[in-house]
Structure 1
Amino acid sequence: MNQPVVYQVAEQSHYPDDEIDLRELFVTLWRGKWIILLFTVVFAAGGVAYALGKPNIYQASVLLAPAQDEGGARGLSGQLGGLASLAGISLGGGGGANPTLIAKEVLQSRAFLTDFIHRHNLAVPLMAAEGWDEKNEKWIIDLEKYNPETHQWLNDKNGESQKPTDWDMVKKFKESHLSLSENKDSGMISLSVKNLAPPAAKDWATKLVHDINEHMREQDVAEAEARIAYLENKLRETNIAGMQQVFYQLIESETRTVMLANAQSEYVFKTIDPAVVPQEKSEPKRALICVVATMLGGMLGIFTVFVIAFVRSGKEQNSDRAEI
């Protein structure tokens, strides 16, 4: 009979404690309102300064579609693969991986991007540019890294040259400038390039599409011509009429591959929507930066107030014990 009574008394004494804690919580926050306000204002001002100090970044995008299918120029040599096996030779390249998939991987490869950067002289705008002068349409160069008058990379405070390596340039290009995405449903590919300069964003994106098409075309033509030379050599070595007919048909197939490759202006990727000079920035999100900085300052201020209140409470308890 006594147990329910004890339970009710404990339950009734539990709620007033919660009310007291909640009241003390608001009192603590009110006492530290100036600390919270100070942290919020300081972080908000810092966020505004940081957001305003960040340069505008522009993005140009190209919408691409595969320019050829499995029955295209790359697959012609595979149509006569049975004849090649009868002749005791292997041409390769006929039933390999999807050419679009290969081109996507090549486009992001270190070798291709290194060659792309050097071919178009992008080292300085990639690694030493601080901004873009829209009025004069020229790069704003970090004069502590690069001297545009002598075209020399300068040394840092430790006396080491700041000339970037191929590794550094490719890493920055992939992380800060290039992005590639594919729509799995339609098969369309979007290639985007971010840059400090709107004209450069459009120019780099256009050149990337052109260069990957030319790279894949040259590679396929070189492989087909090598196979033609091999087949012609085999043709001269045999006197069997049946085998000669097989070699003639294989040579015709490879010659057709070369002809079709040279006839296509867009070999692997066909441009559906070309890149244009962007007129609106894509980064930074200045309003978002300011909001996040303000919220962070407020949260840090509240945390500081609680820490101060906890330390003071501990000191008061210690002093009370000392008096007792």
Structure 2
Amino acid sequence: MSDKQQPAQPQYVAPPYFQQPHDDEIDLRELFAALWQGRWWVIGLSMLCMLVAAAYAFTQPNVYRAQAIIAPVNNPFQLPREQQSPLPIHELETALFSQTMTDKMADLAQRSIKVATDVQRTQGTIQLSAEGTDPAELLNRIQAVTETVDTAYKSLMRQQTEHSLNVLNSELKRVDSEAVKVSLGEYTAGQTYKLAMLNHPSTQLIQVVKPATEPTSPIKPKRKLITVLGFLLGGMLGAAIVLVRFAFKREGTE
């Protein structure tokens, strides 16, 4: 059979749902052309939003942060290594900035004290920080803590030790077992020594690792960042308006 006598092969036709209407296709060149034609919208809104953002940023007050770092003194009672029991740093923070301690420091500083704390457990330190618009006031606030925290903490520990001794002495009078008396007597002797050390003016429990200095550079507002974000937001808004106008115009011509 010759080629001319062979039956024609049927051609495959894609179903309608696979056929893409060419009229709905958007050419990237058309989009870039539309953006170029509406470039003044993009530029104008970018500049407008940038000016608004800059005006907002430069009308906001400068906010500063003052910081100091404190830490517990290693072996403040000069005990042998086997008798040392350092207080965990997170428990120390809880004790230092309890309401009782805050009131004691406020009484010593003769002013209200309010600072934020950040425990750095790996270094065994506590970072004090305060934020505000007045650098000198922030420095005074942090210094009020660093100057009173050791005295206030010694006072708190003294009260707790005195209470412990009162309880121990009462128990010594009450118990009859000689073994219990010996055990309580040893613990009472240790608490008595601790109280004597707390009463001595040279004993220090909290040390200032890094004293506070008056801040000179504000931490916020980030004026440059706000201005740049305003410019970018304006550019995005301008581009969106141009593309929406292009889409409506394109539909109107179809």
1:52: how far off?
A: 0.9
Equivalent in the alignment of 1:182: 120
Same amino acid, percent of matched pairs: 23
Are the structure 2 counterparts of residues 253 and 110 from structure 1 closer, same or farther at C-alpha, using a change threshold of 3 Å?
closer
Are the structure 2 counterparts of residues 249 and 108 from structure 1 closer, same or farther at C-alpha, using a change threshold of 3 Å?
closer
What secondary structure is seen at the aligned counterpart in 2 of 1:279?
coil
Unmatched tracts of structure 2, length 5 or more: 1-8, 15-21
Contact 2:89 2:124 in 1 (8 A): no
Deviations 1:239-278 (A, max 9, x none): 66655444432221111222333446642x3211200112
Contact 2:50 2:234 in 1 (8 A): yes
What secondary structure is seen at the aligned counterpart in 2 of 1:24?
helix
Are the structure 2 counterparts of residues 180 and 242 from structure 1 closer, same or farther at C-alpha, using a change threshold of 3 Å?
closer
Q: Distance in 2 between matches of 1:42 and 1:122?
A: 45
Contact 1:103 1:212 in 2 (8 A): no
Residue identity opposite 2:42 in structure 1: I
Residue identity opposite 2:160 in structure 1: E
1:190: how far off?
A: 2.7
Which structure is larger by alpha-carbon Rg, 1 or 2?
2
Equivalent in the alignment of 1:302: 239
The alignment status of 1:286 with 2:219, answered yes or no, reads no
Equivalent in the alignment of 2:33: 27
What secondary structure is seen at the aligned counterpart in 1 of 2:170?
helix
Contact 1:48 1:290 in 2 (8 A): yes
The alignment status of 1:52 with 2:58, answered yes or no, reads yes
Equivalent in the alignment of 1:203: 140
Q: Aligned pairs, how many?
A: 238
Q: Equivalent residues in 2 for 1:119-138 (5 A)?
A: 121-122=111-112
Contact 1:179 1:192 in 2 (8 A): yes
Are the structure 2 counterparts of residues 187 and 249 from structure 1 closer, same or farther at C-alpha, using a change threshold of 3 Å?
closer
Residue identity opposite 1:193 in structure 2: A
Contact 1:61 1:192 in 2 (8 A): yes
TM-score of the aligned structures, taking structure 1 as reference length:
0.59
Residue identity opposite 1:30 in structure 2: W
Unmatched tracts of structure 1, length 5 or more: 7-13, 80-93, 124-172
Q: Distance in 2 between matches of 1:49 and 1:111?
A: 45
TM-score of the aligned structures, taking structure 2 as reference length:
0.73
Residue identity opposite 1:272 in structure 2: V
Q: Equivalent residues in 2 for 1:134-145 (5 A)?
A: none
Q: Distance in 2 between matches of 1:65 and 1:238?
A: 40
What secondary structure is seen at the aligned counterpart in 1 of 2:27?
helix
The alignment status of 1:104 with 2:122, answered yes or no, reads no
Match among 195, 211, 219 for residue 258 of structure 1: 195
The alignment status of 1:229 with 2:166, answered yes or no, reads yes
Deviations 1:213-233 (A, max 9, x none): 445433322221112111222
Structure 1 vs Structure 2 CA RMSD: 4.0
Are the structure 2 counterparts of residues 183 and 230 from structure 1 closer, same or farther at C-alpha, using a change threshold of 3 Å?
closer
Residue identity opposite 1:182 in structure 2: Q
